[in-house]
Amino acid sequence: MNKKIIVVGSSNTDMVVKVPHIPAPGETVMGSELLTIPGGKGANQAVGAARAGGDVVFIACVSDDTFGTDAIENYKKDGINTSFIKVKPGIHSGVALINVAEDGENSIAVAPGANSHLLPEDILKSREVFAEAGIVLVQLEIPLETVGAVAELAAELNIPMILNPAPGAKLPADILKKLSIITPNETEAALLTGTKEINDDSIPLMARDLYDMGIETVIITLGSRGVYLLNSTFQGYIPGYTVKAVDTTAAGDVFNGALASALSENKTIRQAIDFAQRAAAISVTRMGAQPSAPKLDEISGFRQAGGYNRKNN
Ligand code: RIB
């Protein structure tokens, strides 16, 4: 496999407030000072993959405002190839409004701005770099037609594509059948499969439904409970690592970035999942999206608190 990882997706600036609890509808809660933190599911995954040792090209769209220009500078600092980031003046760069509660849980509202201007034609323009890629990683904070164009090109060039279907959405079968790996959480898996009730019985069934849609590897992420994996050789739960959560924002993104990085190094799917679980566990112990993504040496050195270090096979 070529080692290059292409991440296609959103770039946001996260405006974060720490709150005692997530406000209920109609409720106002007094929070902390405002924190302005680099985020966006695409960017978090690109940074997560790069810090985990990956050779990353990030395809995105930002505006020429401060948020957009600062974001590009940050990606460069992480060694990410930013040549394919489109800069579209006259609009705003993506912004996310985030509440983080004391137990680490969050709520997020996104104003997509420039992210909505990443178009299928931008994907076609980057065909050359796709031809050099070993793996492609995409999420759903960009237009669906653009996700479709990525799936089309990846399938044509025979490059495995990981879709992290977040934020949750129903997707056309035509896109789903072109994927190699899908990484929904339980809610996203339920949306994709039309499942009404999520419980321990429905998780294997949702995974089977997605597998039957033509996706070789289904990984349903279950937060601190680990993941459910279904592929041609394994089906079952793989426990995660237990840590004290400070902020779960971007844990899924760090998982996906690290997963792509490990796969680009030709690790097996079980090895890649373990590596990604370690990366995600570290990330939830830290505040913020991109600042929480660990570097390769931290992931390799990660040990479960209490000295327990689960063996991988
Ligand atoms: O997955 C976390 C991300 O979702 C945040 O960084 C925010 O920007 C939203 O895109």
Ligand 1 center to 40 CA (angstroms):
4
The mean pLDDT of the chain is 95
Residue 108 CB less than 6 A away from ligand 1? yes
Which whole number is the average pLDDT over 278-282?
97
Residue 97 CB less than 6 A away from ligand 1? no
Domain region containing 278: 4-310
Q: How confident is the model at residue 303 (pLDDT cuts 50, 70, 90)?
A: confident
Ligand 1 center to 306 CA (angstroms):
31
Whole-number pLDDT of residue 305: 59
Total number of domains constituting the chain: 1
Whole-number pLDDT of residue 1: 63
Whole-number pLDDT of residue 210: 98
Summarised one tens digit per residue, pLDDT across range 40-67 is 999 999 999 999 999 999 999 999 999 9
Whole-number pLDDT of residue 138: 98
Q: Return the CATH number at 185.
A: 3.40.1190.20
Which whole number is the average pLDDT over 127-150?
97
Q: Atom 9, ligand 1: which residue's CA is nearest? A: 40
Task: Work out the percent of the chain whose per-residue pLDDT is above 90.
Answer: 94
Which whole number is the average pLDDT over 297-303?
93
Which ligand 1 atom is at minimum distance from the Cα of 44? 6
Ligand 1 center to 288 CA (angstroms):
9
Which whole number is the average pLDDT over 279-286?
97
Which ligand 1 atom is at minimum distance from the Cα of 96? 8
pTM to 2 decimals?
0.95
Burial of 97 from C-beta contacts in 10 A (0-12 / 13-18 / 19+)? middle
Whole-number pLDDT of residue 310: 43
Instruction: Indicate which residues carry an active-site annotation.
Output: 253
Which whole number is the average pLDDT over 20-39?
97
Burial of 25 from C-beta contacts in 10 A (0-12 / 13-18 / 19+)? exposed
Ligand 1 center to 249 CA (angstroms):
7
Residue 288 CB less than 6 A away from ligand 1? no
Whole-number pLDDT of residue 309: 38
Q: How confident is the model at residue 224 (pLDDT cuts 50, 70, 90)?
A: confident
Whole-number pLDDT of residue 311: 38
Q: Are 189 and 206 in contact (CB under 8 A)?
A: yes
Ligand 1 center to 14 CA (angstroms):
7
Summarised one tens digit per residue, pLDDT across range 154-170 is 999 999 999 999 999 99
Residue 250 CB less than 6 A away from ligand 1? yes
- Whether residue 222 is predicted with pLDDT greater than 60 in this model: the reply is yes
| d(C-alpha 199, C-alpha 257), whole Å | 27
Residue 40 CB less than 6 A away from ligand 1? yes
- Whether residue 313 is predicted with pLDDT greater than 70 in this model: the reply is no
Which ligand 1 atom is at minimum distance from the Cα of 13? 8
Mutate which of 15, 108, 138, 287 to test ligand 1's pocket (most atoms within 8 Å of Cβ)?
108
- Whether residue 298 is predicted with pLDDT greater than 60 in this model: the reply is yes
For residue 309, CA distances in Å to 15, 240, 293, 305 come to 35, 11, 20, 8
